[in-house]
Each structure stands twice: as structure tokens, then as C-alpha cells.
Amino acid sequence: MSYDPESNELHRMSFQTTDSATETTYPELLAAAKSNRPVSQPTSTPGISPLPVVPREDESGENSSSAYRGGNVTVVYNGTETIAGRETYRLEIAPANEDMSLRSQTLWLDTEFLFPIKRQTSFVANGDDYEYLVTYRNVTFNPTFEPGTFQLDPQEVPDDAQQVQFNTYESRAALADAASLPVPNPNMPAEFELDVASHRSTDPEVAMLRYESTSTDTHYRIGILNGTRNTTTGTPVQVGEYEARQTQTNRTVRISWSVNRTTYYVSRFPADTADDSTLLRVARSVARTT
């Protein structure tokens, strides 16, 4: 359930996925910071215990970076610290290239359960700098609960509660079957393959296709939103019979337009990995197939 105090509305949300998560796990981050990798190991500090070797499938020696949202990061082990009464590994994470939205992140992972007891993150979004710090206290792992502890009483749910579903699919066709929005069949460059198709059911309804390059870190996003969004700023471009706008923010270039109270956008990251004619061709194929 999600409660919005400003609108005094309660939302019921359900999540479903048809593919496994691809984001780097905490054990993989630890593996990237193994003590026998000089690129990842800082100068030794008296009184700091060494990081134990973490098993991994690939022992080729290339272990100084790890996959992260939008690119690779370097991971440095910086000893152990006690956080909220728990012993933790401290990992310093930095982007491997300047194109990423991540600026820095520090993780304090519980040495027994590898749960992030504390996390400090700096990143850039839409040209603005953000930083947040999360610390968990009074943490208990694998506790037991009385039956019904987390059971919601139906009488506590307002009659006008809105149900919002978030689902992911492995194919464009499956997304098209699930969404009431028009889902395009874009003409993508040959090197791009569908990574994920996702759908939010309402408030607003959103359908999204993400295509990733098989040889680079470049990816395209194609989004369809129920409702009219701001498509009046930026450089005018012609997308079929529609006048669209092209904008660029934080190394992401986007073309967007609205038709019949539905907004479409096509974006590419990083912005400089191809000339904009490719992006425009993809956008025009979206317009043709919707």
C-alpha cells in the first residue's frame, strides 16, 4: 500500500516480474573489491581487517569493476566499521566513466548477511546534484513474527483506494497484450535487442520498452504515457505527421510528442554514441506503428 498525504489517497500496488534482476549483487561487489586486486585495494590501514576472498565464477583477473545502472563502477574495500552495533564491510564505489548519473556511493555491508546497514549516495538527475544517506538501526535478521502480524484488515482500506500494478515482460507482444496504451513495434538498429518491457497500470498508465546494444553501453528507451506531458520545449523536429521536440539533459537525448492525450518519447543514452538521425528514424518508426 502507498499513502499520499497531500491528496489523502491510498494506493494498492502489486509487483510481478518475468525475468531475473540483472543488477549487481552485494556479493559481486565484494568480489570486485577482493584484496588481491591492487586496483581495488587501498593503502592498508593499521587495525583494519582484510577482506576475505569471495568465490566467483570467473577468476580471470579482471576484477576491478562491476556492472551498475548505466555503466561500470570501480569498487574499493576500505576495511570494517561498526554501524548500529553491527560489524560491516565498507565499500567505496565510483563510476568508471563520467557519463553515469552516479557520482559516488559508500556501502556498509553487514559482514554476516551482506545487508547494507548504511548507504551514502551522490548522483545527478536532470542536471541537479543529489545526495542521500540511509542508516538502519535496531536491525534484526530472520526474526519470527506472530501469524497475522502483516495482515491488512480489509475494513481499513478506503472504498476509493486505487490499485496500481507494476509488471515487466520479456517481449513487446506481451506488453502490448497487457497494456491499454498503443505499444509500438519500433525499427531498431541491428545491434540493439530488447532488454525489458514494463508497464504501470495507472496514475498514469505507462508502457516502456528498453533496448540495449550488444556491443556498447548505449541503450534506447521508448515510453508511452497516458496523458499530455510537456512537449513544447526543445528543438522542433518532424516525426511523421507530428511536430515533436528534441531535448538533451545529462547526456540523454530525447524526442517527445503528444497525440490524442497520449505522450510518446524516444531517448538514447549516452547522447553522443550516434548521430541524431538514428534517434529520429527510431522515433518515426514509433509514430508509424502506433
Q: What is the pLDDT of residues 31-44, one digit of tens each?
A: 667 543 432 333 33
CB within 8 Å of 30: residues ≥ 6 apart: 51, 54, 77, 89, 91, 109, 114
Go through the chain and tell me how many residues it has. 290
Q: Which amino acid is at 239?
A: V
The pLDDT value recorded for residue 146 is 86
User: What is the torsional sign of CA 61, 66, 67, 72?
Assistant: negative
**Any idea what the Cα angle at residue 20 is, between residues 87 and 274, rounded to 5°?**
105
> What pLDDT is recorded for position 34?
59
Strand order in the sheet with 102-110: 65-68, 71-83, 86-95, 102-110, 116-125, 128-135
- pLDDT at residue 151 in the model: 81
Give the pLDDT confidence of 106-151 residue by residue, as tens digits: 999 999 999 999 999 998 776 678 899 999 999 889 888 888 887 8
Do residues 198 and 175 lie in contact, with contact meaning Cβ atoms separated by under 8 Å? Answer: yes
- When mean pLDDT is compared over 20-29, 236-245, 273-282, the highest value belongs to 236-245
* Structure confidence at residue 71 as a pLDDT band (50, 70, 90): low
Rounded CA-CA distance 199/177 in Å is 11
| 221 DSSP β-pair partners | 210, 267
Whole-angstrom Cα Rg for the chain: 23
Q: Which residues pair with 120 in a beta bridge?
A: 106, 133
Residue 61 has pLDDT above 70, yes or no: no
- Where does the chain hold its CATH 3.30.200.100 domain(s)? 166-288
- Residue 98: the pLDDT is 72
Task: Reply yes or no on whether the pLDDT at 65 is more than 90.
Answer: no
Q: What dotted CATH number matches 166-288?
A: 3.30.200.100
Over range 161-181, report the average pLDDT: 92
Kindly report, residue by residue over 191-243, the tens digit of the pLDDT.
Answer: 999 999 999 998 889 999 999 999 888 899 999 999 887 667 889 999 999 99
Do 186 and 172 contact (CB within 8 A), yes or no?
Answer: no
Query: % helix / strand / coil in the chain, to the nearest 5?
Result: 10, 45, 45
Is 70 exceeded by the pLDDT of residue 60? no
Over range 233-254, report the average pLDDT: 89
Do the Cβ atoms of 255 and 245 come closer than 8 Å?
yes
